[in-house]
A = this chain, B = another copy of it.
């Protein structure tokens, strides 16, 4: 899992450009930016500052830069901080300078990306801070915004969290429905092991310590202890004793994360990071 010292590697342009392009087209519609086209003369240049109106952790500057560049290649976007940086309220995060029409036309899309991704990063950072006295790490889920999974998972990393699976195809996560179909945790794990390639890990969600026992006996790679009371989490961790990775989930907030982490679990997964974190308010001001 990702430690604080792991690098935050930018997403390849080839992965993010389709998103930014599509978002710009969504905003431009068929006729483009009527207001700016009507009012801002050709040749006028603007210098603006992208600034955080709240404190938090910034993510998504590459997407913001790309939004301006795709509208107007002559715009200069100079990031003043890097993705993953914690910023204070009012902090400048980038300079955006160039043809005024382009700056104003791309502004909203650029901000929509960076404020949303920074919101995810900031929420992650808050939880990560709450567990930093323990060995636990904060991880996200597949409860992401449709079409934005790659950039939301990136934002979780920017906030100091780790990533759970990216989709249905890069790991096995056996849930209660699968166990019910298979008849038992053991049989579900057996079927999965038989089916998948050698580089695919298997995690199983358990709700009781009896199920946990069974899962460990079947040699699972990771266990998801779902909605367990703290006491059971502790006992679960003791039972696991390093034989599998342990993940806790359910009712995680900045207030509860610390005590959950203190049970000794390796991971705490939080859907809220990607499905409900509010944006970090970031705006564009005349410089």
Which of A86-94, A127-135, A163-171, A208-216 lies at the binding interface?
A: A163-171
A5-45 Cβ-contact flags toward B at 8 Å (1 or 0): 11101011011000111111111111111111111111010
Chain B residues within an 8 Å CB radius of A27:
142, 149, 167-168
Q: Check A172 against B35 for contact (C-beta < 8 Å).
A: yes
Residue of B40, B144, B166, B221 touching A169 (CB-CB under 8 A): B166
Q: Which of A77-99 contact B (CB under 8 A)?
A: none
Known A15-B28, A30-B26, A112-B275: A7·B41 in contact at CB below 8 Å: yes
Query: How long is the Cα–Cα vector from A162 to B31 in the complex, in angstroms?
Result: 12
Query: How long is the Cα–Cα vector from A168 to B164 in the complex, in angstroms?
Result: 16
Q: Check A145 against B142 for contact (C-beta < 8 Å).
A: no
Q: Is the interface of A mostly helix, strand, loop or mixed?
A: mixed
Q: Check A139 against B39 for contact (C-beta < 8 Å).
A: no
Chain B residues within an 8 Å CB radius of A275:
112, 115-116, 278-279
Closest chain-B Cβ to A163's Cβ sits at a distance in Å of: 4
Closest chain-B Cβ to A223's Cβ sits at a distance in Å of: 11
Closest chain-B Cβ to A244's Cβ sits at a distance in Å of: 10
Residue of B12, B42, B191 touching A71 (CB-CB under 8 A): B12
Chain B residues within an 8 Å CB radius of A116:
145-146, 275
Q: How many residues of A contact B (CB 8 A)?
A: 107
Q: Check B37 against A178 for contact (C-beta < 8 Å).
A: no
Q: Check A38 against B105 for contact (C-beta < 8 Å).
A: no
Query: How long is the Cα–Cα vector from A25 to B146 in the complex, in angstroms?
Result: 10
Q: Which of A214-252 contact B (CB under 8 A)?
A: 221-222, 245, 247
Query: How long is the Cα–Cα vector from A209 to B147 in the complex, in angstroms?
Result: 43
Query: How long is the Cα–Cα vector from A21 to B12 in the complex, in angstroms?
Result: 12
Chain B residues within an 8 Å CB radius of A170:
29, 31, 166, 169-171, 199-200
Q: Check A272 against B267 for contact (C-beta < 8 Å).
A: no
